[in-house]
Structure 1
Amino acid sequence: MNDILQLRGQFQKRKNVNGFGPTNLPKGSKVTAEHVGNMKQQLKQLENYWKNEMTIGGVLISVHYKCIVAKSNRLQILLGEKSSHPNMSIRGAKFVDENNAKNEKVKKHVFTYFISFEALRKSIQYLEKCELVLNKYYNGEITDKDTQLINSGKYNVNIMAKSSFLRVVVDSNYVESFRLDRVDETIKDRSIVTIYKTGVNTVELLSKFGIDMIHAKMIDETTLRLDGREIQILQNNAPYLIAMHVRDLAEIVIDEDIVKDESESLISIPEPTNEPTVGVIDTQFDKRVYFHNWVVSHNMVDPNITITTEDRFHGTAVTSIIVDGPAFNPKLDDGCGRFRVKHFGVATAGGFSSFTILKMIRDIIASNRDIKVWNLSLGSAMEIDPNFISPEAAELDKIQCEYDVIFVVAGTNKTRKMTGTVKIGAPADSLNSLIVNAVDFNGKPASYTRVGPVLSFFYKPDICYYGGDKQEKITVCEPLGMATVCGTSFAAPWITRKMAYLIHIVGLSREVAKALIIDSAAGWNRQDNKYFAMGYGVVPKRIEDITHSKDDEIRFIMNGTIDEYETYTYNIPVPQDMKAHPFFAKATLAYFPKSDRNQGVDYTSTEMDLHFGRIIEKDGKAMIKAIDYNKQADEGIQNIYEEDARKLYRKWDNIKHISEAIKENARPRKAYSAGMWGLSIKTKERLVPKAGRGLQFGVVVTLKEMNGINRIDEFIKLCMVRGWLVNRIDIENQIDVYSKAEEEIEFE
């Protein structure tokens, strides 16, 4: 097997010099004065409504679009505050399924804005003038050809400035209607509620309705815990304020079919030395087990709650796999060794308060900065919402951005009462976390499998691993001895072991480690891109199958930081044979973007657009011929709709995996000019420009030789000639380095 190579060199940076060009209607589009007039009337009705509703210091308006819109096709002038882009006024986003003009069911964007009365009146004036211009000069209808003529200089209208007129026309083209959306369902149970951010402080605002809010009941400025009575008050007085809600008390999904092992098999374990430490957040840990010296446990539950043996089963079982899983599961021996664990018991075996656990997790991570990998095998029985991330997942995503850690999270299980397709439960909708579903020992989705996607789009789970099933289960150590179990709770710890090995022993960044796990699961024949049950595939059992590549493969990793719009290198020398590249190629990118739960379906703030392939010259310019034919951000007009960009190129997803299909009769790729390949990452922001600057990324690239020849030495030499520092990741050497680094030095 070949070692993985680490390429270190200089990435080039480039600012975005491409403008958006003139403001034109899309080809074949038209806007009528009637539609503009309807929009004007809708805003006037909303103005009249809000005049009598002065509680929130402004106006909430929901903008229903005709389709899923790109950032560049959102409102550009309407609903904009003075000297501020309308995007800065967005308070939420969701998808709705409605009929289009052809009576076909399509998914549409809905954005909720919070603006001042001044901005609302200004928007009404814009629409009034636009309607007047359309009726007076364009016979009540304007087309894309008309907007092109206007941009060429043919616009002699005094009623409205050219730039304002064109922007209102284009805004009107994408908007279906302006409305005030409300939560219609009656919420009776205690819930975690998120309200729209308005012009009034949340505590002050709720007090106007008779709801006394203390900071202990708040997760952040707009997310808080309310009981049934308080929610009823809010719904009666201001139902428009509720952006999203989820029941607070969740049920841990634990497989009920547990078989106790009656044998008295004794397992011995040496004392821990300098092994890496993994964090576990789960139910309680029982110190009577044979590996108790490897675990430092903390009970985080209210001391007034009595802890029983039943409350220790799940947490102890999960931790047993992380510490010593291969000892009692030889079939799953991964070669990762043993790990020490810091175990935090945050729940009991029954229900638990999501709100309470949310408060605990941040404090736990902040107090244990040395731990980089955390296992979380708790999950909710309730299905995730298609339009917003759960509060638990959002908090995990925030923590991972702030503390440079990664959570490995179980994908949650079906209970016996659940039938048919069931969506995963919180916090398995965390985008930055590595979400693990389970397969049986034949590599098929387990009988208790729940599925994604998240927010109707994001691939979750990420991967899957062996979690056992009715025919063959996983062995764990519980307080009363060995037991056989099954569930995603017991698949996730095996991946936690691998992540801890890659980060602590091999010394990889979390970005590269995550990309490497996903890349190894996907292989060359992605197993699941339709049913959202297996993620990118099953992760290999042995760690060497992740840390090495086959003899006919060259696998290399690259790290970088985003400082400008584009980060790129056109200097990757792929070996040639007869002026052609005899390789199939694939690449996986991982990064941990900031996110905003208040933005609903537009949750992630930063997009990294991955381009990888051969360098070609076109019109005197060098460019990448991407292996997935990605033309986003290429020069010239690219007619790629937002929905297609999301489906084809995973736009806004924080994992990008692109791969060529292996074909028996494939021919080597023509080598252009100098025979170089390139990698480019172009960055886009949803709201605040340059918000993602400083964000780290990890890329794993694999080249597979078409004729089975090992060309790794040739590749290394070519890279060194081109100025790359090439480091072979020698695992034995890395283990020695880790051991030396962890040795305690005693001074005489």
Structure 2
Amino acid sequence: MNNILHLKGQLAQKSSPSKPGPANLPKDKKVTIEHLASLRNDLIAVKRFWETSPVDINPLVSAYYTDVVAKSNRIKGIFPKGADNKVVGAKFTSGLEKKHIITHCITPHLLSNAIDALEKAIKLAACFGDAVSFCNIKDIHAKKHEELFKDISRSSFTQIVVDAYYLERLFIDNSSPDLANSAIITLYETGVTTEKIMKQLGLDVSRARIIDGTTILLSPEQYSQLKAKAPYLIAMGVSDIAELEKDMLLGNTSHVMKIPSPSSEPTIGVIDTMFDKRVYFSEWVESKNMLDDSIELRPEDYNHGTQVSSIIVDGANINPDLDDGCGRFKVRHFGVATSGRFSSFTVIRLIKEIVEANKDIKVWNLSLGAALEINENFISPEAAILDKLQFENDVIFIVAGTNKGHNPDIRKIGAPADSINSLVVNAVDFQNKPANYSREGLVLSFFNKPDISYYGGDRAKGISVCSPCGQASVMGTSYAAPWIARKMAYLIYIAGLSREVAKALIIDSATSWSKDSFAPYLMGYGVVPIRIENVLQSKNDEIKFIISGTAEKFETYSYNIPVPINKSKHPFVAKATLCYFPSCSRNQGVDYTDTEMDIHFGRLKKNKTSTSIESINQNRQSDEGYFALKEEKARKLFRKWDNIKHIREYLLTEKGNKRQPKTVKENGLWGLSIKTKERLGTTGKTPLNFGLVVTLKEVNGINRIEEFIQQCQLRGWLVNEIDNQTRLDIYNLSEETISFE
């Protein structure tokens, strides 16, 4: 086995060199005057609606697009960018053909101006007949027809026509969910406080029921009143009372276990149901009941939490077949729910309070999950708080992918397994097949959750845990997640890796060199190997290296990666995994992640004026002179806006033949480029850390790692081998208590 290499060197940074050209329609397309008039009439109706609205806020108007649209093709002319125009929500239409619906909050002045601008555009468009075409706009940019532009500028007119091409209609979105219980409701962000809006509607809501400004807890009666009076204010809503998805108990035994006292082992945080202090490993667990003292606890409220913590503390001893080589871990356990129903509102508040009060804990296990399915158009409130905490703090959550339970109609995962920054774990049986209780993604019709899978047991063979009644055999995603929490804690605390690199290593270890035979929406990127050595090492014919850094500008890159050459060829196939923890905006709906990192990795190639990268996945987004893909294709093919990027070549061709070595280009150098884009158009981009894992597999089975190390050192890279035993020895020494006599 080869050790993983950590390459340290200067990653160059540069700003985006490109500036958007003048707006135009796709070639051979046109926009009719009839369609422009229809959009104008839509806005007139919107204006009349808001003139009679019972709430005094800036108008909301939703844009119904013809497709899933890229940021560059969204409204710019009808509602010009600026402080008086803010995107406050985005969702997809239902059905197989997805289309964007994006909601704007604009000022009354901008609304009037938009109607006036459309009037002028319609009048001018009539000079070109019954429609404005690509060629017409091309002529306008060439400064022809200058005599026509008296009441409206060339740029405004062309941008309005282009806006209209991508729009079907403009309207007030009155859709809102039917909820019977207390509800967690998020209002569109209008610049007016939630308290003030509620008072205008005659609803009395205390500050204690407001989260993050626009998200509030309402009683069934209050929600019914809000929905009747102002459904257009509701951006999203979910029931507050969630039923815990059930894990399956296969049997109990009274086998007595023993364990030594804890010493310098790392601590993992567990947020779950209660912990029973009578179990044999209780000395390893610091537990706290976070619920109100008035809530009466029953014996069954201690089962799930105790079982989950038993895997984290002593899982390898209880399950010899799953001995991962990670040792034991201490646990700081917080009870936030009972075994039945729980309040999402309460859990959200408690999770935030717990993480902020325990800054020393980097890895958190959350095996609680809701029985109800996630919504396809917005992230659950529970997942959103996890994503926010992970962006703001150097922590990672390992989240169970939730179980089907006894309801055959439940298929999609439940909250908080829709958390994008978290590492979400589904279960497989011991034949590496999806467990029959596993639920599936996608999240927001796009994000591929779960991320990975691990052993969660089945009826043929369960997972051994310690319960308050003794040793038990169980199955469920709740018992797959703690195994990954152990591995993540080992990589961060003992191996000393960043959470970005650790997450990338875990995901990369689950991938293979052949085309997947499983459904990614059930198993993620694959099954993580049992032994930690198989995460921290590679096979003898593989070179695995990590690069970590911070994206501060548009492009972070290196054109200086020397891949070994044999007989004037590169005898390798490659794969790469990139992970980062972006800021997320729940109020943006389906456009949830604020930052995109687009990865290019492969051989260098010379263009006429510059050097570029021939990426191993044929990614040409952002390449000079390359027409961008449609947004939906870019998301599907290159995971645009996803915070996990995994690109790879397969060892075998479509015909089953082994891949041939690659032609050498540009002195045998390969390059890495990470291009960073902000969705919300913020000017001062916050630097964002990333972790990248690259694996090169020698197609002839030859070990070329020493040659690679030598060439990297000659090129100025500092190469550190990640030796598992050495890292473990260093950790143990650093945690020793020294007594001074």
Bin the TM-score by the shorter chain. over 0.9
Contact 2:55 2:201 in 1 (8 A): no
- 1:549 has 2:541 as partner: no
Match of residue 708 from structure 2: 715
* 1:134-156 CA distance string (max 9 Å, x none): 11x20021111221121122132
Q: Distance in 2 between matches of 1:685 and 1:267?
A: 53
| Partner amino acid, structure 1, of 2:346 | T
TM-aligned CA deviation for residue 727 of structure 1: 0.1
Match of residue 244 from structure 1: 236
| Partner amino acid, structure 2, of 1:491 | A
Q: Distance in 2 between matches of 1:691 and 1:267?
A: 56
Range 702-711 or range 140-149, more displaced:
140-149
Match of residue 48 from structure 1: 48
Match of residue 7 from structure 1: 7
> For 1:366-445, what aligned pairs fall within 5 Å after superposition?
366-419=356-409, 422-445=411-434
Q: Distance in 2 between matches of 1:34 and 1:309?
A: 69
CA change 1:448–1:366 in 2 (3 A) is same
* 1:360-414 CA distance string (max 9 Å, x none): 0111111111100000000000000000000000000000111110000000001
CA change 1:69–1:691 in 2 (3 A) is farther
> For 1:9-158, what aligned pairs fall within 5 Å after superposition?
9-53=9-53, 55-80=55-80, 83-84=82-83, 86=85, 89-97=86-94, 106-135=97-126, 137-156=127-146, 157=148, 158=150
TM-aligned CA deviation for residue 545 of structure 1: 0.5
TM-score in terms of structure 2 length: 0.97
| Partner amino acid, structure 1, of 2:90 | A
Match of residue 338 from structure 2: 348
CA change 1:266–1:529 in 2 (3 A) is closer
Range 249-258 or range 265-274, more displaced:
249-258
SS in 2 for 1:414: coil
| Partner amino acid, structure 1, of 2:156 | S
Match of 1:267 among 233, 253, 257: 257
CA change 1:302–1:333 in 2 (3 A) is same
* 1:268-308 CA distance string (max 9 Å, x none): 11111100100000000011111111110011111112222
Q: Distance in 2 between matches of 1:18 and 1:249?
A: 50
Q: Distance in 2 between matches of 1:359 and 1:688?
A: 30
Match of residue 562 from structure 1: 551
Match of residue 101 from structure 1: none
CA change 1:709–1:274 in 2 (3 A) is same
* 1:27-55 CA distance string (max 9 Å, x none): 22211111000000110011111111152
Q: CA RMSD in A?
A: 1.3
> For 1:300-379, what aligned pairs fall within 5 Å after superposition?
300-379=290-369
Q: Distance in 1 between matches of 2:666 and 2:390?
A: 43
Q: Distance in 1 between matches of 2:83 and 2:192?
A: 20
* 1:461-483 CA distance string (max 9 Å, x none): 00000000111111100011001
Match of residue 624 from structure 1: 613
TM-aligned CA deviation for residue 688 of structure 1: 3.2
Match of residue 521 from structure 1: 510
Contact 2:87 2:102 in 1 (8 A): yes
Q: Distance in 2 between matches of 1:667 and 1:648?
A: 24
Q: Distance in 2 between matches of 1:527 and 1:636?
A: 34
SS in 2 for 1:347: coil
| Partner amino acid, structure 1, of 2:468 | P
Match of 2:739 among 727, 739, 746: 746
Q: Distance in 1 between matches of 2:551 and 2:421?
A: 17
Uncovered stretches (5+) of structure 2, i.e. residues with no partner: none
Contact 1:586 1:701 in 2 (8 A): yes
SS in 2 for 1:360: helix
Q: Distance in 2 between matches of 1:525 and 1:494?
A: 25
Match of residue 185 from structure 2: 193
TM-aligned CA deviation for residue 232 of structure 1: 1.2
CA change 1:172–1:551 in 2 (3 A) is same
Range 529-538 or range 105-114, more displaced:
529-538
> For 1:159-198, what aligned pairs fall within 5 Å after superposition?
159-198=151-190
SS in 2 for 1:203: helix
Q: Distance in 1 between matches of 2:439 and 2:697?
A: 34
Contact 1:529 1:536 in 2 (8 A): no
Match of 2:465 among 473, 476, 493: 476
TM-score in terms of structure 1 length: 0.97
Range 616-625 or range 485-494, more displaced:
616-625
Match of 1:694 among 684, 687, 690: 687
TM-aligned CA deviation for residue 553 of structure 1: 0.1
Match of residue 211 from structure 1: 203
Match of residue 102 from structure 1: none
| Partner amino acid, structure 2, of 1:217 | R
- 1:605 has 2:602 as partner: no
Q: Distance in 1 between matches of 2:216 and 2:508?
A: 38
Q: Distance in 2 between matches of 1:372 and 1:665?
A: 42
Range 671-680 or range 53-62, more displaced:
53-62
SS in 1 for 2:99: strand
Q: Distance in 1 between matches of 2:700 and 2:660?
A: 10
| Partner amino acid, structure 2, of 1:172 | A
Contact 1:437 1:533 in 2 (8 A): yes
Range 66-75 or range 141-150, more displaced:
141-150
| Partner amino acid, structure 2, of 1:416 | H
SS in 1 for 2:47: helix
TM-aligned CA deviation for residue 17 of structure 1: 1.3
The percent identity for this pair of structures is: 52
Q: Distance in 2 between matches of 1:185 and 1:735?
A: 52
TM-aligned CA deviation for residue 530 of structure 1: 4.5
* 1:229-262 CA distance string (max 9 Å, x none): 110111121111111111111111122443112x
Q: Distance in 1 between matches of 2:392 and 2:398?
A: 17
Across the two proteins, how many residue pairs are aligned to each other? 735
Q: Distance in 1 between matches of 2:520 and 2:533?
A: 29
* 1:165-194 CA distance string (max 9 Å, x none): 111111111111001111355433101110
